[in-house]
Structure 1
Amino acid sequence: MSFRRLVAPVFLAVAVSIAAFMALVVFAASRQDAASLDAENQVVAQEMRAIHEALAVLVEDNAWWDASVENIHITENIAWIDSTLGESVMGISQVDGVFVIRTDGTMAYANFATDLPAPHAILDEGLIEVVRAMGPRENLVPLTRSGYLQVEGRLIAFGASMVQATGANKLPDIDLERLPAIVFISDVGADDIEAVGKNNALRALTYQTEAPAGGTFQLIPGANDRAAGYLAWTAAAPGSEMIRYLIVPALILLMIVAAAMTRFVRRASRLVEELARANKAKSAFLASTSHEIRTPLNSIIGFTELISLELYGKVEGQKNKEYLQLIRESGEHLLSIINDILDISKLEAERFEIYAERVDPREVARAAGKMVATAAKEKDLNLEIDCLPGDVLSDERIMRQVLINLLSNAVKFTPPHGKVTVTGKIKGRFYTIAVEDSGIGMSKSEIEVALSLFGQVHDNMTRSHKGTGLGLPLVTRFVDLLDGTFDIQSTPGVGTKVTVGFPLYDHDPHV
């Protein structure tokens, strides 16, 4: 068992979980910050709009009046204007100035606070254009405009409304499409802006005539598409603040996770080392035991063969001869099993030695074919070997064992009158040999079982064959030992194709 394979998924899962959690927190915080900023922008826009719209309501109430038409347009009664608008309206806290503009755009009346810019300066910043653009009038329909101006670095709110008759009093016919307009203005000073910020929990809300270089700000639209200035403030960032509050708990949590992972790594390391020692001890035991069993078993097989040859006396009875043959076959089968166990044990214990040399794969394929030719003939199988020329750098004995195992499986699991083919060719840096049969085939899950140690696929056909389930596992380990390649493709009821690749002679597999 590889320690890296054991802990890598755990570390990956922990790292992905932490990264995903952090990404989720950052995403949620950014969404919360964006929502908060959007809400603040809406509040600022609404509060600023409310200031000039309040002026619009107030000025419309004074312009939508028969007395205004009579005393402003018909007679231009300055005394009435001054007493009704100049004195009474100027007493309202939100109004800092009153203008009456004639139909030709000239100023008929002005009354404003002494600290405001001069009337002409206010009119020249676009107010005259706003008034001139109002019209033509419609009977019984108020015509009102409101907004902001930037005058000498100050923010001025205005509300302008054309005087209109309500129809309550009998007035002379008015044929003009345009009538004079009343304008109320308000100086929106720093205290007003600060009050808006405090009332709506906006930090450091200030008015600026130029666009700030950075930070959060909002354009104040002016008359006739002119910018009336900018409102800047320090945006609330609840999401970012939440992340700052979570830094310390997160660091503590990471320290706990790191401590837990360190403890896990130590325990896992000890476990892997113990398992590796146990596995090597098991493999060493199997290798030693298999070796000890193989020696007397060779003697049993040899003596049985001598008795069968009747060199030292005749064997009486047909049954005795049959029993001798069974003893020999069983011994040979047991010897092949022990050889496989010995090989796998050496491989697991990393004691298997290879002797790489220049090998002709065609000769190896032909030799392996001869080993299974008798079994193939007994089942009337068509065994074909077609390998192109090529030289490989490999251990001939191991390479032959790989092909014998593959051919043995192919012959074993192919029904009578079937076909087994062996093809070899150069493909890239490898000489590939494919063993293909028309046997019972396997599903994906069955392939996984067949490739595992002592794994056997159980069905009606495989139950009729003896084996340890070490054939394909040995092949994969031998191929890996030789720096080769392995691939298996199989379809139930169609057949199986196993392709192994061996490094070419002019290619160093360790480079």
Structure 2
Amino acid sequence: MKFHRLVTPVFVAVAASVAAFIAVVFVAAKLQDEATIESEAKVVEQNFIRVHQSLAVLAEDNAWWDEAVENLSVEENVEWIDATIGESVNGIKNIQGVIAIRRDGSLLYSNFVGISSPPHAFLDAGLAELARNYPTPEVEVPHSTSGLMVVEGELIAFGASVVQAAGIREFPQQVIENRHPIIVFLSRLPPEVLAEIGHQTAIEGLKLFKDKPVSDALLPLTGLDGKTAAYVSWETAAPGSKMIRKLILPALILLGLVIVAMVRFVHQANRLVDELKDANHAKSAFLASTSHEIRTPLNAILGFTELISLELYGKVEGTKNKEYLSLIKEAGEHLLSIINDILDISKLEAGRFDIYAEKVDLRHVIDGSVKIIQSQANEKNLELALECEAGSLYSDERIMRQVLINILSNAVKFTPAGGRISLRGTIRGDRYCLVIRDTGVGMSEAELKTALSLFGQVQGEYARSHTGTGLGLPLVSRFMELLGGRFDISSTPGAGTAVRLDFPLYQSKSNPPTP
């Protein structure tokens, strides 16, 4: 078991979880901040509207009045205007100016306190145009408008209303239908007014800017001409950002605990992997030792069985006795084959399988392997088709032969009577490609995965009648890796199996396969 394969998924999962948590927190904080800014912008906008609408109410109170019609429209009594309407500038808080404008846009009256700009600057800034285009309201019905305007670089709130008869006094029809002047009340928006708005709304740092500032909390103010007159910014509450700042310390503590836990996990996992490696080596050593100890007396049993069968030291009487000897030999050979497989896999896992490189005649190895399984194939009436090019290389002939025998034995074992097994060998570049096909029962993808695992045995009616250790294909795979070759297998249920073995064509002992 490789250590990095054990810990990498854990590290990836932990890192992904931490990253996802941080992303969720930051996204939630950002969304909360954006919602707060949007809410604050609406509050600020409503308060600015409230400021200039209050001026419109004041203008309407002074314009919807029979006395106003008499003294502004009929007589243009400046003394009355100054004493009645102009006095509002001195008596009402946050009113710095009042202007009366004829409907042709000319100035009728003005009174400023605290405003340095001259009256004509206000007319030029849009009030003259407003008077000329002011809609004619219904008779004896008040009408007002309000908004913001920029005069000589200063933001001014205004409220305007057209002079209109209230209906208490009777005027000639001609007077009633005249295009009466408009009265406009003006209010500057100095920092004190902004501070008052901020105090009323609990929004801090309200500031006006002529040019657009760099700020997330920003509201453009539309002027009398429909263009942006100014920008107002403020210090947003930013609850999301505040939450993140409050979470920094707990998050760092939590991250520290995670790091400590991961360090401990790595230490424990490393120790576990070492213990598993030691246990695996001990198991492999035990299997190798045990297999070797079993193989020695088993070879003796097979040897003596062979001697008795040859009747060198006396006749073996009776047909049954000869049959029993044959069964003993077959069972012993089967058991020896199993022990050899276990011994080989144990050596491979323990990393103690030695390779003896020599010049190998490929055709000779293939023919020899086919001869070994020829009798088994004949018993099942299987057709063996051999079409292989000649070739030679430096490799371990013993391992190559064992690979071929394992593949061919499986092909014979799992191909029904009357089937066909073909071998085709060709030289392709720097490799010798050997493809072995059979018309056997085949395997599904899941069964193939099982067959390639150690001690894995495919379950099925046909497979259960042909028992084995489940080491054949795993041994082939590891042997091919050991030889520097490649092993590929494909199978289709009911159609058969195809195995491809690619042997590297090493041409000298300077670059043979090494374990």
2:147 is aligned with what amino acid? G
Contact kept? 2:148, 2:224, Cα under 8 Å:
yes
| Structure 2 equivalent of residue 160 of structure 1 | 160
Distance 1:380 1:128, change over 3 A: farther
Structure 1: stretches of 5+ with no match in the other structure? none
| Structure 2 equivalent of residue 307 of structure 1 | 308
Distance 1:115 1:137, change over 3 A: closer
Q: Distance in 2 between matches of 1:389 and 1:136?
A: 111
| Structure 2 equivalent of residue 16 of structure 1 | 16
Which sits farther off after the overlay, 172-181 or 491-500?
172-181
Cα shift at 1:165: 4.3
Distance 1:389 1:171, change over 3 A: farther
Distance 1:260 1:213, change over 3 A: closer
| Structure 2 equivalent of residue 223 of structure 1 | 224
- Aligned-residue RMSD, C-alpha: 2.9
- CA deviations over 1:438-476 (Å, ceiling 9, x no partner): 322333332332222212122211111121111111122
Which sits farther off after the overlay, 5-14 or 412-421?
412-421
Distance 1:385 1:116, change over 3 A: farther
How does 1:48-63 map onto structure 2 within 5 Å?
Answer: 48-63=48-63
Which sits farther off after the overlay, 333-342 or 270-279?
270-279
| Structure 1 equivalent of residue 76 of structure 2 | 76
Cα shift at 1:391: 6.2
Cα shift at 1:69: 3.6
Q: Distance in 2 between matches of 1:329 and 1:226?
A: 103
Distance 1:128 1:467, change over 3 A: same
| Structure 2 equivalent of residue 347 of structure 1 | 348
Cα shift at 1:363: 4.5
1:407 is aligned with what amino acid? L
Distance 1:394 1:11, change over 3 A: farther
Distance 1:197 1:425, change over 3 A: farther
- CA deviations over 1:399-428 (Å, ceiling 9, x no partner): 232222122112211222223333445668
| Structure 1 equivalent of residue 200 of structure 2 | 199
- Identity, % of aligned positions: 56
2:43 is aligned with what amino acid? V
- TM-score, scaled to structure 2: 0.89
Secondary structure at the aligned position of 1:223 is classed as coil
Residue 99 (1) aligns with residue 111 (2) = no
Which sits farther off after the overlay, 73-82 or 339-348?
73-82
Contact kept? 1:358, 1:392, Cα under 8 Å:
yes
Q: Distance in 2 between matches of 1:186 and 1:509?
A: 95
Contact kept? 1:450, 1:472, Cα under 8 Å:
yes
- CA deviations over 1:75-122 (Å, ceiling 9, x no partner): 333344334422357533243221111011011111232445332223
Secondary structure at the aligned position of 1:129 is classed as helix
How does 1:177-326 map onto structure 2 within 5 Å?
Answer: 178-213=179-214, 216-326=217-327
Cα shift at 1:351: 0.2
Contact kept? 1:135, 1:177, Cα under 8 Å:
no
- CA deviations over 1:383-410 (Å, ceiling 9, x no partner): 3344456666643322232222122112
Which sits farther off after the overlay, 60-69 or 205-214?
60-69
Distance 1:422 1:235, change over 3 A: farther
Contact kept? 2:159, 2:185, Cα under 8 Å:
yes
Q: Distance in 1 between matches of 2:42 and 2:359?
A: 82
| Structure 2 equivalent of residue 133 of structure 1 | 133
Secondary structure at the aligned position of 2:86 is classed as helix
Q: Distance in 2 between matches of 1:53 and 1:428?
A: 91
Cα shift at 1:320: 0.7
Contact kept? 2:292, 2:343, Cα under 8 Å:
yes
Cα shift at 1:155: 2.2
Distance 1:339 1:135, change over 3 A: same
Contact kept? 1:392, 1:431, Cα under 8 Å:
no
Contact kept? 2:222, 2:228, Cα under 8 Å:
yes
Q: Distance in 1 between matches of 2:195 and 2:387?
A: 94
Distance 1:374 1:140, change over 3 A: farther
Contact kept? 1:361, 1:392, Cα under 8 Å:
yes
Secondary structure at the aligned position of 2:225 is classed as helix
Secondary structure at the aligned position of 1:436 is classed as strand
Contact kept? 1:90, 1:98, Cα under 8 Å:
no
Contact kept? 1:150, 1:156, Cα under 8 Å:
yes
2:85 is aligned with what amino acid? L
Cα shift at 1:283: 0.8
Secondary structure at the aligned position of 2:342 is classed as helix
| Structure 2 equivalent of residue 330 of structure 1 | 331
| Structure 1 equivalent of residue 497 of structure 2 | 496
2:369 is aligned with what amino acid? A
Contact kept? 2:203, 2:236, Cα under 8 Å:
yes
Secondary structure at the aligned position of 1:158 is classed as strand
Which sits farther off after the overlay, 165-174 or 36-45?
165-174
Distance 1:162 1:343, change over 3 A: same
Give the total of aligned pairs.
510
Q: Distance in 1 between matches of 2:383 and 2:69?
A: 118
1:332 is aligned with what amino acid? E
2:333 is aligned with what amino acid? E
Cα shift at 1:199: 2.6
Q: Distance in 1 between matches of 2:302 and 2:40?
A: 96
Contact kept? 2:355, 2:513, Cα under 8 Å:
no
Residue 123 (1) aligns with residue 123 (2) = yes
Secondary structure at the aligned position of 1:230 is classed as strand
1:350 is aligned with what amino acid? G
Which sits farther off after the overlay, 64-73 or 44-53?
64-73
Distance 1:114 1:345, change over 3 A: closer
Q: Distance in 1 between matches of 2:300 and 2:135?
A: 124
Distance 1:430 1:254, change over 3 A: farther
Structure 2: stretches of 5+ with no match in the other structure? none
Q: Distance in 1 between matches of 2:440 and 2:5?
A: 36
Which sits farther off after the overlay, 174-183 or 309-318?
174-183
1:184 is aligned with what amino acid? F
- TM-score, scaled to structure 1: 0.90
Distance 1:425 1:240, change over 3 A: farther
Contact kept? 1:116, 1:187, Cα under 8 Å:
no
Cα shift at 1:370: 2.8
Distance 1:12 1:226, change over 3 A: closer
2:210 is aligned with what amino acid? T
Cα shift at 1:330: 0.9
Secondary structure at the aligned position of 2:484 is classed as coil
Q: Distance in 1 between matches of 2:45 and 2:234?
A: 13
